[in-house]
Structure 1
Amino acid sequence: MWQPKVAVYFQEGGFVLMRKYIPNQHGAWAMLILPFLFGVASSKGQFIHIPLFVCWLLIYLFSFPLLQWVKTGKLERYLQPMRVYGILLLPFILYLVLAEPKLLGFVLPLVPLFAVNLYYAKTKNERALLNDICAILAFCLIIYPVFYVGKGESWGAATELFLLSVLYFIGTALYVKTIIRERNNIRFYYGSVLYHLLFAVAGLLLFLTLLAPLVILLLRAAILPKTGITAKRTGMIEIGFSLMLYVSVLVLYF
């Protein structure tokens, strides 16, 4: 269908603008949200969870252009989104620090993990598995401050959910690589399947009530890479798997 050149120009301009402000890493959204929800599930819903989530979201939105700047060196392209998100972020940080000063302590483990992300961005090797694992650990650590401000009673339950999140997202990173960058690497495929098999076996010891969803994740890792599924569809379907795990935790775990 024919479109006026002006319309096409504005559509393309809007797309470029969205790429500057909205991260295109689909899997990161699940890592941003699921551990936070696990933290709420292991504690009690509190009003402070709302500004804490907004702060967590803005930290992610700020860090994405920051990493892109470090990777590309194009400060002029990423300065504006960093400025916008930084300005939006400051009042939330100030409110949370005044309301719960001990939240600052939960930031400390994030510093070395983000330093690794900066290193891999600088070396343009952000697809490295170690970089993925450090990012996963950083995302999953949000469980603890969410649990703390939610006045949770069992740090053991929070730690179990932290481990569940980390193991799930590491498995997801391996599985996604078998579809995209390692799709022709049969050894990597078998490594991913083996990891999910061990994850399911670990479920017998750590997360017995969650064995069924862990087996489903194993089948996902074994079957879907053989179907020729696209990266975009993989990201969309992964939202469903994340939702399955969250509902399973709510229904079976607590």
Structure 2
Amino acid sequence: MSVARYIPKQHGAWAMLVLPFLAGAVSEGKMIHIPLFLCWLFIYLFSFPVLQWIKTGNKARYRGPALLYGVILLPLTAILIAFDPMLIGYGVLLLVFFIPNIYYAKTKNERALLNDFTAVLVFCSFIFPVVYVGKGGSRSYGEAAELFALLSAYFIGTVLYVKTVIREKNNPRFYYASITYHLLNIGIAAAVNLYMIFPAMILLLRAAWFPTLSLKVKQIGMAEFGFAALIYGSILFVYV
């Protein structure tokens, strides 16, 4: 069995998969969060062979993984719907936002910035159902909106930064666009919560300094675990 057919290679997506869940469930964790996260995980895993199938047309290679993940998703989805049928609405929203993924897979242009930004918003939106099943209430939803803004801003900046150190490392326009965005991100952080200015400033230093170094892809990836931990630690400090 080829693992490459089952596991996505986009390592950065794992942080986007996990961080919104951890941010939303940290103070209101409940048992229902377990099947919710598992469903979220297998939706992501299911989307990988489906999109690869669309991109390559290789039915024989990706049908098995798609069927496996689809079968696993059925009972998890049933548990969530039984818990609260309103969660169907979020599922419909995911299907709508899956349409751009299908388009970019079909045109073999998954690395397009618009596709990346759409993915960021979809991943970060998971914080809303996490908060919904955990507690609800006006205060929780207000915090969820703040965390959605902070995480979306962080991951959009990460998309730009990673391009400056890998695919666009010789493109000065991308470098300056990344720095400009990270300057704006400090303003976004200040508007949401003044304490979040400090990690935003560190991210600005990352965007300005790291592209000037000769970093290997593995080093870049390892550093991103640290920056993701920084954001999560900051969220714990501010919101817990």
Residue 207 (structure 1) shift: 2.2
Separation in 1 of the partners of 2:71 and 2:93? 24
Contact kept, 8 Å, 1:209 with 1:253, in 2: the verdict is no
- TM-score by structure 2 length? 0.96
Residue 38 (structure 1) shift: 1.4
Residue in 2 aligned with 1:166?
A: 152
Separation in 1 of the partners of 2:154 and 2:199? 11
Residue in 2 aligned with 1:112?
A: 96
Of all paired residues, the percent bearing the same amino acid is 55
Residue in 2 aligned with 1:8?
A: none
Residue 138 (structure 1) shift: 1.0
Aligned residues: 238
Residue 28 (structure 1) shift: 0.4
Equivalent in 83, 96, 101 of residue 80 of structure 2: 96
Select the structure of larger CA radius of gyration: 1
Equivalent in 220, 232, 235 of residue 234 of structure 1: 220
Equivalent in 21, 36, 53 of residue 6 of structure 2: 21
RMSD: 1.2
Contact kept, 8 Å, 2:55 with 2:106, in 1: the verdict is yes
Residue 233 (structure 1) shift: 2.0
Residue in 2 aligned with 1:6?
A: none
Runs of 4+ in 1 over 3 A off after TM superposition: none
User: Secondary structure, in 3 states, of the residue corresponding to 1:127?
Assistant: coil
Separation in 2 of the partners of 1:193 and 1:207? 21
Residue 204 (structure 1) shift: 1.9
Residue 108 (structure 1) shift: 2.8
Residue in 1 aligned with 2:34?
A: 50
Separation in 1 of the partners of 2:41 and 2:136? 22
Residue 243 (structure 1) shift: 1.1
Are 1:69 and 2:58 counterparts?
Answer: no
> Which amino acid is 1:240 matched to?
G
Contact kept, 8 Å, 1:51 with 1:96, in 2: the verdict is yes
Contact kept, 8 Å, 2:52 with 2:62, in 1: the verdict is yes
Separation in 2 of the partners of 1:228 and 1:247? 28
Counterparts of 1:1-254 in structure 2 under 5 Å? 17-41=2-26, 44-153=28-137, 154=139, 155-254=141-240
- TM-score by structure 1 length? 0.91
> Which amino acid is 2:7 matched to?
I
Residue in 2 aligned with 1:10?
A: none
Q: 1:141-179: CA deviations, max 9, x gaps? A: 110100000013321110010111111110000000001
Residue 37 (structure 1) shift: 1.0
Separation in 2 of the partners of 1:44 and 1:253? 12
Q: Structure 2 unaligned runs (5+)?
A: none
> Which amino acid is 1:173 matched to?
V
